[in-house]
Amino acid sequence: MSIAGFVQGSRLWADIETLAAITDPDRPYTRRSFSERFMLGRNWLVERFRDAGLETRIDESGNLIGRRAGSNGAVGVLMSGSHSDTVPDGGRFDGVLGVLAALECARAFTDAGVSLRHHLEIVDFLAEEPSDFGISCIGSRGMTGALTREHLALRAPWDENLSDAITRMGGDPARLTEPRRSDIRAFFELHIEQGVVLEQERLQIGVVEAIAGVTRLEIMFSGRADHAGTTPMDRRQDAAVAAAHVVSFVHSEARARAASGAGHVTATCGVIDISPNASNVIPRTARVIVDIRVSERHVAEALVSAIQATCRDAASISGTTLARFTIQSDTSPTRCAPELTGIIENVVRENDLSQRRMVSGAGHDAAFLARLAPSAMIFTPCRDGRSHDPDEWCAPEDALRGARVLVDALLARDRLN
């Protein structure tokens, strides 16, 4: 059975455009979590949820949830959603498509006269993007028991702690010590790919089989600042030389491992700080932040070891000291539930759409939801792979296709136990 035809592309697109217009003036498209603009967007979502007949609430973690009651609540909850906050000067679709497509699915079930056995919950997770408190995925962390007391004590630049900020969003951090939810049977998240693969291969749907783990390293080399014109080349302790060696190695090694069939592998040196940062002074210190994303845990461990060994070699070659090699953060890859990816693939075939399996190199709320229940993701193409940018674009027909796959996947899962 398919009810994809009841998903209205014009209704979904109108919602996307309306929420996009709720943005900081002259900074499209900006709705930073915990901000006044974010709350305006949230208030609009509440009204849209209620217009669709959903019972609406804010949970203890500050997530906005709209529930469509099922005919047999004892079988549990099917959940779908994403996030409505953005990065500064972000896009109209990252996260937003997942929330609004899930809402459109709830309306499609009602329009089709379909009574699901499971309760259906549509979720706008709080602060999926990196927040001013220094962490991301705050709402999904909270829902899955991964928000710690240390997290709640974190402070924003305006000196508010995270606990108080969640309370301000309507949550109740004091209740985060209660047992985690046990009623969620499946979670589906629709999202733009944020990459170029689907577009370049001219495919309509990506079936996500894994969400990459993220490891971030902080590396510091310590040398000696000397005059750039009077210090002979063979007598220098140039920290920038060591850093350059590492940057080159990280790029080439990650590229080689990806080409060797090690799964999804990326590594980026996105932060390079040189001190004293003057054109006529040999750098005294160099700091490098390395972002590693892989689909296989053992690949991350091997890559970290290789980078550490290279750092020691780089220090020796440059006459500097490896003053710091620290793992700043480390999360393991998350596998999507095979039973749900199978459902999605079947739905795509039944709707005569093209597809491929793929790994998400970006983090998502689905990675945390997988700690509670079987979880899966559906990707739609986005133009030029652009994301986190005002030029981020998902064509209306791609948004509609993604929503139609989502609604049929939810229906198929509801028909199981």
| Domains, the chain, ordered by start | 4-211+333-414 (3.40.630.10), 213-330 (3.30.70.360)
Alpha helix positions (H), 126-238: 138-143, 149-152, 162-168, 197-200
Bridge partners, residue 288, by sequence: 219, 272
Global model pTM greater than 0.85: yes
pLDDT of residue 417: 79
The verdict on whether residue 280 carries a ligand-binding annotation is yes
Q: pLDDT digits over 290-320, tens only?
A: 999 999 999 999 999 999 999 999 999 999 9
Check whether 264 is labelled as a binding-site residue: no
Flag whether 191 is marked binding.
Answer: yes
Q: Is the pLDDT of residue 1 over 80?
A: no
Percent of residues, the chain, with pLDDT higher than 70: 100
Chain segment 357-398, per-residue pLDDT in tens: 999 999 999 999 999 999 999 999 999 999 999 999 999 999
Contact between residue 31 and residue 86 where contact means Cβ atoms under 8 Å apart: yes
Q: Any bridge partners for residue 291, and if so which?
A: 216, 268
Q: Which residues of 140-164 are buried (b: 16+ CB within 10 A; e: fewer)?
A: bbbbbbebeeebbebeeeeebbbbe
Cα separation, 414 vs 75, whole angstroms: 9
- Mean pLDDT confidence for 106-128: 98
Give which of 231, 247, 325 is closest to 283, Cα–Cα: 231
Cβ-contact 195, 361 below 8 angstroms: yes
Model confidence at 279, pLDDT cuts 50, 70, 90, reads very high
On whether 216 is known to bind a ligand per the annotation, the reply is yes
Please check if 245 is assigned to a binding site.
Answer: no
Contact, 21 vs 15, CB < 8 A? Answer: no
For the stretch 122-152, pLDDT in tens is 999 999 999 999 899 999 999 999 999 999 9
Annotation-wise, does 293 bind a ligand?
A: yes
Q: What confidence tens digit (pLDDT) does each residue in 160-188 have?
A: 999 999 999 999 999 998 889 999 999 99
- Assign 177 to helix, strand or coil: helix
Sign of CA dihedral 125, 127, 130, 134: negative
Question: Residue 2 — very low, low, confident or very high, per pLDDT cuts 50/70/90?
Answer: confident
